[in-house]
Amino acid sequence: MQTLVEMIVNSAYTEQITEEQITGMLKEKVFPVGLREHMEVFFTEVPVPLLNRFRKEHGIALEQLKEYYDLFIKTHSRNKKVEELFYE
């Protein structure tokens, strides 16, 4: 059974990814072709409180999340609410 994060991230795509894959991409700072849209959805469609809980549950520092967002997401899928999280 998919988690809420997985349901949101996978809802528009036939290729499904898991929370573990999302965590790995965030921690390893990879943005693979074929999964880029999933990661953009992670930062733009997952509600910020859920995104913040996800990162805590998976041992992702806020700075790691910000770095990934700045490297791969911000230039074409900006989310002001996520950006506010980085500066709380």
- Taking the C-alpha atoms of residue 84 and residue 34, their distance in angstroms, rounded to an integer, is 28
- Taking the C-alpha atoms of residue 49 and residue 34, their distance in angstroms, rounded to an integer, is 26
DSSP string spanning the chain?
---HHHHHHHTT-SS---HHHHHHHHHHT---TTTHHHHHHHHHTS-HHHHHHHHHHTT--HHHHHHHIIIIITTTS--HHHHHHHT-
Taking 50 as the pLDDT cut, the residues of the chain under it are none
